[in-house]
């Protein structure tokens, strides 16, 4: 049922290759200074960062023969069965609100068909990211409702006929990462209910749709590093290796038509989609710029936490850092790279926003030696259509062991109101007393970080999306 390539996709790829070929044949040293080449290489590195990071993440998470914990072969689901606890150190900033159903798909060869059961009144979302980390579809409670549905994920060069009743979601790249989330209260009974739903979310290639399908075992590559953090692996690549991988990935993950200006920059560095990249054939000045790019670009990307605030892309209010510029980035390549570095897989802001605070203000950090209160006036709890939670992490973004085995506070806790209807959350290492323990978020004895998760934030006032609601400051108390 696979059809021919649509003319539009072929035309775009031809335009890309043509532009890059023309640029790559130019005598760069005759037209650009060393400083200009260095700047071009840093820009190109920043542009490529999400795609290279996605590829290394895909390799690390799919390099198994069968599903195992947080890993599964490409085309098969990771089905997380419970929330991690304080012993969990595999991934930073773990989640204790939703259970994951995640999978990687290669849609360059053929579409994949995903079937979802009726989810009843349970919140869920199945966001899909292309290779550039853009969320191109996010079926779920907010967008498509909770009734049973079947959809196809198609690649950029596919055009054909889908089975009746199957909705098409077209990816701009061959690489797709679905990061499904299903809400759970965390009780044994609710875990069981969610497990049943997880098992009924299935995926098959289009060629096998409608008949029994057994996924083949995954191929295990012993050379793939499954222990070193992906960001560390990417950052450790030398410039030539980095751009060689990037050029290969462009063959099935083409640039956007909006990237015309960046295509010229890539061309100056000899990077052409699918044609391979060999730094040894370039002018020495270009080779040097490429070799020096990683360190400068990585510094630039991480500095965006502060620079993005100054640029108005990210917000810093009362110690809380957050952004509503996630999931779709256009040509804001530095924002896209920064989110890939610190929060790969970020949702659309309409699905979730994650304000983070490392201290009550930019000059202070939280310490378990102190006591803090987060106060919400009456009727001013986080405005969401699904749920919110306040999560406690240590300085390394892992859960904190505590007597209550409590890592979050949320509406599923029996939060007590003050006489005036307001709510105080007590953030400290020691119990605030039996009468306040329902509102206590246990902290470590030393530094810690807070994250406020807001799923399906309200769109109308009060709303964090339009600035009509602000995250309350966390204040130190005696």
| For residues 454-464, average pLDDT | 96
Whole-model pTM: value is 0.90
3-state secondary structure of 374: strand
Q: Where are the alpha helices (DSSP H) in 223-367?
A: 230-236, 239-249, 260-268, 284-310, 333-343
DSSP 440: E
pLDDT-above-90 percentage for the chain: 87
Q: 424 - beta bridge partners? A: 375
Comma-separated ranges of CATH 1.10.3360 domains in the chain: 7-56+228-302
DSSP 200: T
Strand-pair category, 423-428 with 440-442: parallel
CB 374 within 8 A of CB 425: yes
- Helix 260-268 vs helix 7-24: crossing angle, to nearest 10: 40
Residue 162: count of CB within 10 angstroms of its CB? 18
**Residue 431 phi, psi (nearest 5):** -55, 135
Instruction: Tokens for 349, please give them.
Output: 């802001």
Comma-separated ranges of CATH 2.60.40.1610 domains in the chain: 64-208
User: Each residue of 75-91: pLDDT tens digit?
Assistant: 999 999 999 999 988 77
The class of domain 64-208 in CATH terms is mainly beta
Q: What is the average pLDDT value for the chain, to the nearest integer? A: 92
Q: Does the pLDDT at position 469 exceed 50?
A: yes
Q: Exposed e or buried b for every residue in 319-346, given b needs 16+ CB within 10 A?
A: bbbbbbbbbebeeebbbbbbbbbbbbbb
Give 24's pLDDT tier (boundaries 50, 70, 90).
Answer: very low
CA angle centred on 136, ends 178 and 132, rounded to 5°: 80
Q: 477 - beta bridge partners? A: 371
Instruction: Domain 7-56+228-302: give its CATH architecture.
Output: Orthogonal Bundle (1.10)
Give 4's pLDDT tier (boundaries 50, 70, 90).
Answer: very low
Strand-pair category, 128-130 with 135-137: antiparallel
| For residues 208-222, average pLDDT | 96
Q: Does the pLDDT at position 124 exceed 50?
A: yes
3-state secondary structure of 475: strand
Model pLDDT, residue 189: 97
Q: Integer distance in angstroms from the first to the last C-alpha of the chain?
A: 69
Full 3-state SS string of 382-406:
CCEEEEEEEEEEECCCCCCCCCCCC
Model pLDDT, residue 273: 74
Instruction: Tokens for 13, please give them.
Output: 């790829």
- Report the distance separating Cα 88 and Cα 362, nearest Å: 29
Residue 121: count of CB within 10 angstroms of its CB? 6
User: Each residue of 137-153: pLDDT tens digit?
Assistant: 999 999 999 999 999 99
User: Each residue of 274-314: pLDDT tens digit?
Assistant: 688 999 899 999 999 999 999 999 999 999 999 999 999 99
Model pLDDT, residue 31: 61
Comma-separated ranges of CATH 2.60.120.600 domains in the chain: 354-477
Model pLDDT, residue 13: 42
Q: Does the pLDDT at position 169 exceed 60?
A: yes
Could you please state the CATH topology (level 3) that the domain comprising 354-477 is classified under.
Jelly Rolls (2.60.120)
CA angle centred on 246, ends 245 and 247, rounded to 5°: 95
Question: Among 31-40, 208-217, 417-426, 467-476, which is the least confidently predicted range?
Answer: 31-40
3-state secondary structure of 68: strand
Instruction: Tokens for 20, please give them.
Output: 């890059």
- Report the distance separating Cα 69 and Cα 78, nearest Å: 7
């Amino acid at each position: 049922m696979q059809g021919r390539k649509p003319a539009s996709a072929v035309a775009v790829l031809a335009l890309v290759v043509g532009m890059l070929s023309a640029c790559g044949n130019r005598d760069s040293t005759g037209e650009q200074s060393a400083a200009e080449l260095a700047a071009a290489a840093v820009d190109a590195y920043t542009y490529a960062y999400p795609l290279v990071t996605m590829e290394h993440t895909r390799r690390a998470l799919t390099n198994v023969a069968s599903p195992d914990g947080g890993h599964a072969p490409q085309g098969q689901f990771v089905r997380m069965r419970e929330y991690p606890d304080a012993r969990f150190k595999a991934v930073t900033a773990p989640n204790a609100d939703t259970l994951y159903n995640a999978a990687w798909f290669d849609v360059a060869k053929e579409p994949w068909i995903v079937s979802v059961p009726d989810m009843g009144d349970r919140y869920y979302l199945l966001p899909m990211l292309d290779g550039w980390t853009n969320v191109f579809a996010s079926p779920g409670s907010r967008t498509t409702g909770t009734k049973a549905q079947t959809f196809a994920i198609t690649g950029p060069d596919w055009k054909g006929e889908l089975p009746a009743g199957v909705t098409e979601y077209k990816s701009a790249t061959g690489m797709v990462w679905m990061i499904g989330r299903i809400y759970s209260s965390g009780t044994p009974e609710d875990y069981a209910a969610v497990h049943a739903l997880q098992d009924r979310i299935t995926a098959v290639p289009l060629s096998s749709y409608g008949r029994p399908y057994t996924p083949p075992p995954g191929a295990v590559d012993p050379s793939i590093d499954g222990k070193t953090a992906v960001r560390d692996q990417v950052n450790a690549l030398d410039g030539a290796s980095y751009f060689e991988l990037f050029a290969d990935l462009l063959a099935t993950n083409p640039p956007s038509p909006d990237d015309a200006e960046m295509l010229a920059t890539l061309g100056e560095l000899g990077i052409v989609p699918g044609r391979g990249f060999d730094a040894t054939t370039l002018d020495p000045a270009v080779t040097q710029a490429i070799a020096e790019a990683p360190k400068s670009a990585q510094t630039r990307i991480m500095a965006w936490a502060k620079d993005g605030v100054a640029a108005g892309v990210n917000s810093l209010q009362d110690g809380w850092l957050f952004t509503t510029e996630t999931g779709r980035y256009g040509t804001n390549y530095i924002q896209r790279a920064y989110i890939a570095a610190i929060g790969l897989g970020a949702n659309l802001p309409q699905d979730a926003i994650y304000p983070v605070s490392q201290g009550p203000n930019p000059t202070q950090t939280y310490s378990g030696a102190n006591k803090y209160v987060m106060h919400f006036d009456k009727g001013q709890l986080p405005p969401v259509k699904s749920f919110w939670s306040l999560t406690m992490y240590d300085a390394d973004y892992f859960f904190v062991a505590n007597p209550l085995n409590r890592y979050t506070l949320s509406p599923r806790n029996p939060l007590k109101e003050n006489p005036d209807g307001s709510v105080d959350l007590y953030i400290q290492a020691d119990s605030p007393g039996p009468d306040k323990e329902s509102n206590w978020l246990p902290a470590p004895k030393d530094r810690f970080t807070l994250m406020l998760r807001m799923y399906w934030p309200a769109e109308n006032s009060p709303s964090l999306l339009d600035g009509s609601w602000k995250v309350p400051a966390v204040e130190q108390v005696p």
